[in-house]
Amino acid sequence: MNNASISVGIVGATGAVGQELLSLLHDRKFPMAALRLFASARSAGKVVEYAGKKYTVEEAKPGVFSGLDVAFFAAGGSVTRALAPDAVKAGCLVIDKSSHYRMDPAVPLVIPEINPEGLRSHKGIIANPNCSTAVTLMALWPLHQAFGLKRYFASTYQSVSGTGAEAVRELDAQVHALVSGAPVVKKVYPYQIAFNVIPQVDSFGENGYTGEETKMMLESRKIMGLPNLKVSTTTVRVPVVRAHSISINAEFERPVSVEAAKAAIAAFPGAVLVDDPANKSYPTPLDFSRKVKCGVGRIRIDTAFDNGLALWVSGDNLWKGAALNAVQNAELMVREGWLKPKAAAPARELAPVK
């Protein structure tokens, strides 16, 4: 990475993804001239400490983006809708994790290992993919390059951290309640999540598919540049704290082999091959929590498809599925000179509270 010094903001800094962004930017040594944290009015004034520095959280509102080079939006779509245009108007690049702009034809939806060219064509906003889409494509993209993807079916095993910190607390509380014989309280999910699975992630559409399932289809098409890709998914919430897993059955245009598939995965920078079934070696969400790469294993010839493969992938939904992918996009832009610092803003606006 070059010596550029970028002025950075995080919108939604007190949430789960915002906290991951804070740590990743520091731990990966992103070249920051300054960092500002934004959240809702009720969190304004809160002091956040990381890496020996203290930052005072500011209210996320119009007019606060002057002087920033890039703002990572880690809040919901309503926040993006309200504030992203103002940030762009102030000359600040927006890298957004919400679904608000993902399917906008004018906004690139980018996974840097797959379609980095989108980072050059932005008009002020870059969209981050859905967490399950990102993890799934870390397995499918290298196989597409090798064999030509025709269609895929997927069932997800999604951790509760994808819903947020309150869902993590609910799982923990329900486990303790069941162990101690206390009543189980349900607030976040419509059913008990402890020792259970819930075949619903997001709300149902008229066609019976959830929003999450539809996102995986539409986003896969856009990111991979395959507008006619056939996709059918079932998304499921499981009692795992962190990292999503996906079972995939994919059909390809060209003949496949397990050996060639393993070689393609092993050579891909976004994945690590963990596939030795004789020794019970395969990816699990625990093994791929807080890992940069996604784990791919259980690769085998599909018994229903022609030219088909069945496989399994695990990856951190808060990292590659959200914060890490956003940071990787920004890192690539800095390396290539596509994200440069503009004229420095007054120090009082940018310097963190000591």
Query: Residue 134 gets which letter from DSSP?
Result: H
Angle subtended at Cα 207 by Cα 204 and Cα 210, rounded to the nearest 5 degrees: 30
131 is catalytic: yes
- What is d(CA 180, CA 244) in angstroms, rounded to the nearest whole number? 28
Distance set, CA 43 to CA 3, 14, 47, 48 (Å): 33, 8, 9, 11
Specify which residues 311 forms β-bridges with.
248
In the block, tokens 């304004």 appear at: 44
In the beta sheet, which residues pair with residue 38? 11, 58
Of 131, 144, 176, 294, which is the active-site residue? 131
Q: Which of 100, 122, 244, 294 is catalytic?
A: 244
Q: Could you tell me which of 325, 343, 341 has the C-alpha nearest to residue 118?
A: 325
Beta carbons of 340 and 41 less than 8 angstroms apart: no
Q: What span, in angstroms and rounded, lies between the C-alpha atoms of 97 and 54?
A: 25
Backbone φ, ψ for residue 270 (5° rounding): -95, 0
Contact 141, 344 (CB under 8 A): no
Q: Are 222 and 109 in contact (CB under 8 A)?
A: yes
CA distances from 272 to 216, 251, 340 (A): 22, 21, 32
Residue numbers annotated as active site:
131, 244
